[in-house]
Structure 1
Amino acid sequence: MTITNASTPPSSAGDPAADLAGTKTGVVASVMNGLPTLLVLAVMGGGWIVMHQINSGDSSTEEMEEPAPATTSSDTLTLPEGKLRVAEIESVTAQAHNIQHVHTVPGRLRYDQTKHVDVKAPMDGILAELVVTPGDQVNAGDLIAVLRSPEIGQARAEILKRQKERDIAEQILQRELTLAKNLQQVSDMLDQGQSVDAIEKAFSNRALGAYRQDILSAYSKMLLADEQLAKLRPLVASGSVSGRTVRDREGERQLAETAFRTARDQASFEIEQSKMKAEANLAEAERQFNLAWQSLETLLGYKEDKDAVNLSNEEALSRLEVRAPFGGSVESRGYANNERVMRGDSLAVLANTESLSVEASIRESDWSVVNLHPGAEVSVMVPALDQCVFPAKVLYFGREVQADTNSVPLVARIENNDGLLRPGMFVRVTVPIGERRQALSIKPESILRHENKPFVFVDLGNGSFQRVDVSTGQTSEDWVEVTKGLSAGQPVVTQGAFLLKSELLLQGEGE
């Protein structure tokens, strides 16, 4: 028995219309089967669109409600009042200043060579006593050591000899001066025509030397001839005496007068010659005496008091005192008491550090433009004394370039009255380069660097500051020349510039 489904149409195989109807019926069935999935996708897409619109609306609302931030330049900085007060920022106006380029070179402090002396033994001998020790302070002329030396004894004995010779020469000169004075007085009495007895009486106790006999004898003969001639002349008239006898007596009188005048002239000449010779002998004796003292003082190394020196015995003659040539401190000593020393041996080293020398070297490339001359002032900074700066005056600036360093030497004198400086200290010497000139300048502490570019902060007022890139030129100890970036009158930050740099960098990171 065959069962037939009422809902299933009977097979219509071979009918095209029937086949097309069947195909449409299958498509509709497939669409109906996928409809739930399409509905789920549509719902999800609609929800996403709604949420996106909601979010977009909220964001727009927030952007509409938030106020727009103030626009500031990346090189401008404004500090709040609190930070501005704490920073204690100070500014200096950029303006023209006298500026001179300087150059700083390393150097060393040295002893002043004129006040650093190796006190040496002036000759061979025995060191009887060395009275100083290292660290002692001595004054010029103070006793340092005592030596016993035969050479000194000989030098002092030579002084005694020359002193005696000088005394003798002085006595001879005094005698010749006395004779010349007395002879002049005799001549005055002779010119007055006084008698021989009167002259003899006046000069009985006064020196006339051999001139007494020569002059007075000739004078007596002349006077005798005058008397005889005076007696004979009256007798000629009476015929008692012939005229020839009178003429003979007149001739004898003329001869006596000639002899008298010759004796006087000879005496005057001889006394003058003797006086000149005595003066020359005394001058020579004085020179020899002074040379003997100079020889002794050369051996001693100092000047002795000629009035107080003791030359009375052999021990005093051979005593050699070595004294300080100047005031200072004893740096070292070389021998002990009673040691034998030779000429040139170092007894002690004496130094005066009230002034020191500063020695530095200027590079070959700079020395031709260094503006230095004796007496010029340079600055000396001592790192060991908390960067203290001392003035010094140039003593010598070399001309010859040293082959080993390609530099020229610079020597200056620095005062050390307070005793803070010591020889051997390392220092930095600042020397001027070129001539002074007017240039727009700012303080060195105003210049900062970022990425190797120099810049400064210009104070705009009301807590605002602007970074300005600059170009610099010559520098001195107090000022730096600005060749580009600033104009005269702009206030440039000095104190607090580094703080502003830090704030500006933080502001850049925030952006």
Structure 2
Amino acid sequence: MSLNTEASARPAEVSEASETDGFGRGDASAPAPIVSRSRAPRALLILAVLAAVAFAGWTYRGPLLAGLGLAPPAVPEAKADRSDDAPANPDLVTLDGAEQTRIGLAFGTAETRRIVLPVRAPGTVAFDERRVTHLKPRTQGRVLSLAVQPGDRVTAGQTLATLDAAGLLDARNGLQAAEAALGEARASEAVAALQVKRGLEQLKFGGVAQAEVERRQVDLAKAQAAVKSAQANAEMYRAQYQRLAPAEGAAPGTSAVVTPIAGVVTSVGITLGEVVDTGRDAFTVADPTRVVVLANLYGADISRVKAGDAVSVESPVPGHPPFEGHVRSVNAALDPATNTAPARIELDNPQDLLRANLFVSVTVGADLGRDGVTIPAAAVQQTDAGPIAFVRTAPDRFERRALTLGIQRTDWVEVRRGVAAGESVATAGSFGLKAILLRSLLGSTD
């Protein structure tokens, strides 16, 4: 009884010792323990812990090996164009000289200038009305000869046509009658003057009465008035005859149509053998060396364009430089058919390239009366947020600036906000700067 009790107690002690061992081993001198059923779950837990440790060691083998001094040498990794590599300022682009040359970067300077808006308008060429003459026959008559045709060039004093002037004979006869009347009036004046002189001498010794002397003085006054009237009548007929008299060397009884200016015959209104009078134009002669261009201004351009503004008129001949001039005036009245106001432009036309009724393109430099900061037009880039420009802040640094634009031309634009006078801006190649900035902002790795 006692032996059995000790034997049954011993395995229980061994079991407790094994439980504290942790590896399932007992004392070597002790007999093999008897494994209890409660050990199986603990063994499985130990295996799970060992598996987790092994997985962590494999995953973090690099730091572990490095800590033990057993890690292999590190291979350098290529630098990627990541978004976290972008500069702190998202509006800044850094580009060395080689990259600037590669994208063809060029520069311009913001400068202050007079703001002049180019106003483009259609125009029509016309003769200067002060250089056009409409010639009418000086007297009624039959056309004997025509010396010119439309398009012919003439000189001042040249005869254009000859008429068999019936009015010339009337003027000559009238002049002769007026001269005869003038002679008679002068003779009567001389007699009246003599009678007055005699009467005054006789009045001294009572040969005539005072009333008679006074009557003779009245007759003298009438004779003098008749002389003046006859003189005026004679001068009138003389001027008429001289105006109608044929030119030197011309046939008697003929009248010539003579141009007072040099120019080009633009129209002929008479025909050979036709009987004409003084009521219609026989010829029209215009001087084309200086012409007028009427530019049709519309809307706000009417108030922008002023007298004195510079003008450029496109030449109708390819390759010929434009005609330069200035605005003479802007008509205060609108054309009711087109609702436009014509601006008068006077131009020299030495080669006759500008012909009447020719349609031309006119560009007026409208001075807006203010100064402003301008940059080259090539420096402006358009984005979804509006126009921008890249200002060179250092030899390799370019800052994006949002712009507020004013007047925009093909060669420069007015900048009301964004760029100061004297700053350097990128012109050619600025599109490349915009692309680099957008790629950096989007984190592109291209």
2:104 is the alignment partner of 1:61: no
Match of 1:321 in 2: 256
1:154-177 deviations in Å (ceiling 9; x for gaps): 23433343344345445555x37x
2:294 is the alignment partner of 1:359: yes
> 1:88 and 1:363, CA in 2 relative to 1: closer, same or farther beyond 3 A?
same
1:274-304 deviations in Å (ceiling 9; x for gaps): 554344333323433444466678xxxxx57
Which of 315, 328, 342 aligns to 1:394? It is 328
What letter corresponds to residue 175 of structure 2 in structure 1? I
What letter corresponds to residue 126 of structure 1 in structure 2? R
Determine helix, strand or coil for the equivalent of 1:140.
Answer: coil
Which of 380, 398, 417 aligns to 1:484? It is 417
2:344 is the alignment partner of 1:381: no
Match of 2:22 in 1: none
Determine helix, strand or coil for the equivalent of 1:105.
Answer: strand
Q: Which runs of 5+ in 2 are unaligned?
A: 1-57, 63-70
Match of 2:402 in 1: 469
The 8 Å contact of residues 393 and 414 in structure 1, kept in 2 or not, is answered as no
Which of 500, 506, 509 aligns to 2:430? It is 500
Cα RMSD between the aligned structures?
Answer: 4.6
> 1:396 and 1:480, CA in 2 relative to 1: closer, same or farther beyond 3 A?
same
2:48 is the alignment partner of 1:113: no
Match of 1:426 in 2: 360
The 8 Å contact of residues 107 and 429 in structure 1, kept in 2 or not, is answered as no
Determine helix, strand or coil for the equivalent of 2:119.
Answer: strand
Match of 1:415 in 2: 348
- The CA distance in 2 between the partners of 1:295 and 1:342, in whole Å, is 16
What letter corresponds to residue 114 of structure 1 in structure 2? R
1:4-62 deviations in Å (ceiling 9; x for gaps): xxxxxxxxxxxxxxxxxxxxxxxxxxxxxxxxxxxxxxxxxxxxx99xx9xxx999723
Match of 1:190 in 2: none
Tell me by how many angstroms 1:473 deviates. 1.8
Tell me by how many angstroms 1:324 deviates. 0.9
2:181 is the alignment partner of 1:165: yes
- The CA distance in 1 between the partners of 2:410 and 2:434, in whole Å, is 28
Match of 1:285 in 2: 230
> 1:465 and 1:157, CA in 2 relative to 1: closer, same or farther beyond 3 A?
farther
TM-score in terms of structure 2 length: 0.64
> 1:71 and 1:286, CA in 2 relative to 1: closer, same or farther beyond 3 A?
farther
- The CA distance in 2 between the partners of 1:326 and 1:379, in whole Å, is 28
The 8 Å contact of residues 110 and 356 in structure 1, kept in 2 or not, is answered as yes
> 1:357 and 1:502, CA in 2 relative to 1: closer, same or farther beyond 3 A?
farther
- The CA distance in 1 between the partners of 2:72 and 2:144, in whole Å, is 112
> 1:460 and 1:106, CA in 2 relative to 1: closer, same or farther beyond 3 A?
farther
- The CA distance in 1 between the partners of 2:177 and 2:104, in whole Å, is 88
Moved more, 76-85 or 375-384: 76-85
> 1:148 and 1:443, CA in 2 relative to 1: closer, same or farther beyond 3 A?
farther
Higher relative contact order (CA 8 A, sep 6+): 1
1:290-329 deviations in Å (ceiling 9; x for gaps): 44466678xxxxx57x8x9789x9x634x12111132212
- The CA distance in 1 between the partners of 2:379 and 2:229, in whole Å, is 78
- The CA distance in 2 between the partners of 1:59 and 1:145, in whole Å, is 114
The count of aligned residue pairs is 368
Match of 1:151 in 2: 167
Q: Which residues in structure 2 correspond to 1:61-210 (within 5 Å)?
A: 61-63=75-77, 76=93, 78=95, 80=97, 84=101, 89=106, 91-95=108-112, 97-101=113-117, 103-121=119-137, 124-170=140-186, 172-173=188-189, 175=190, 208-209=194-195
The 8 Å contact of residues 388 and 400 in structure 2, kept in 1 or not, is answered as yes
What letter corresponds to residue 93 of structure 1 in structure 2? A
Tell me by how many angstroms 1:457 deviates. 4.0
> 1:464 and 1:146, CA in 2 relative to 1: closer, same or farther beyond 3 A?
farther
The 8 Å contact of residues 381 and 431 in structure 2, kept in 1 or not, is answered as no
1:215-267 deviations in Å (ceiling 9; x for gaps): 55565xx4xxxxxxxxxxxxxxxxxxxxxxxxxxxxxxxxx4xx56x45x854
Determine helix, strand or coil for the equivalent of 1:165.
Answer: helix
Which of 378, 382, 398 aligns to 1:450? It is 382
Tell me by how many angstroms 1:462 deviates. 2.8
Tell me by how many angstroms 1:486 deviates. 1.4
> 1:137 and 1:462, CA in 2 relative to 1: closer, same or farther beyond 3 A?
same
> 1:273 and 1:363, CA in 2 relative to 1: closer, same or farther beyond 3 A?
same
Tell me by how many angstroms 1:442 deviates. 0.9
1:149-208 deviations in Å (ceiling 9; x for gaps): 3134323433343344345445555x37xx75xxxxxxxxxxxxxxxxxxxxxxxxxxx4
- The CA distance in 1 between the partners of 2:166 and 2:153, in whole Å, is 31
> 1:75 and 1:473, CA in 2 relative to 1: closer, same or farther beyond 3 A?
same
Tell me by how many angstroms 1:474 deviates. 3.7
Tell me by how many angstroms 1:432 deviates. 3.0
- The CA distance in 2 between the partners of 1:447 and 1:294, in whole Å, is 75
- The CA distance in 2 between the partners of 1:492 and 1:67, in whole Å, is 30
- The CA distance in 1 between the partners of 2:382 and 2:91, in whole Å, is 14
Match of 2:43 in 1: none
- The CA distance in 1 between the partners of 2:419 and 2:275, in whole Å, is 77
Determine helix, strand or coil for the equivalent of 1:114.
Answer: helix
Tell me by how many angstroms 1:461 deviates. 4.9
- The CA distance in 2 between the partners of 1:454 and 1:335, in whole Å, is 66
The 8 Å contact of residues 474 and 481 in structure 1, kept in 2 or not, is answered as yes
The 8 Å contact of residues 178 and 237 in structure 2, kept in 1 or not, is answered as yes
- The CA distance in 2 between the partners of 1:148 and 1:365, in whole Å, is 58
> 1:217 and 1:163, CA in 2 relative to 1: closer, same or farther beyond 3 A?
closer
1:59-103 deviations in Å (ceiling 9; x for gaps): 97230x7698985667637474697599694523333x4435553
- The CA distance in 1 between the partners of 2:195 and 2:382, in whole Å, is 109
What letter corresponds to residue 283 of structure 1 in structure 2? K
- The CA distance in 2 between the partners of 1:449 and 1:86, in whole Å, is 15
The 8 Å contact of residues 406 and 416 in structure 2, kept in 1 or not, is answered as yes
The 8 Å contact of residues 126 and 293 in structure 2, kept in 1 or not, is answered as yes
Q: Which runs of 5+ in 1 are unaligned?
A: 1-48, 181-207, 223-255, 298-302
> 1:383 and 1:324, CA in 2 relative to 1: closer, same or farther beyond 3 A?
closer
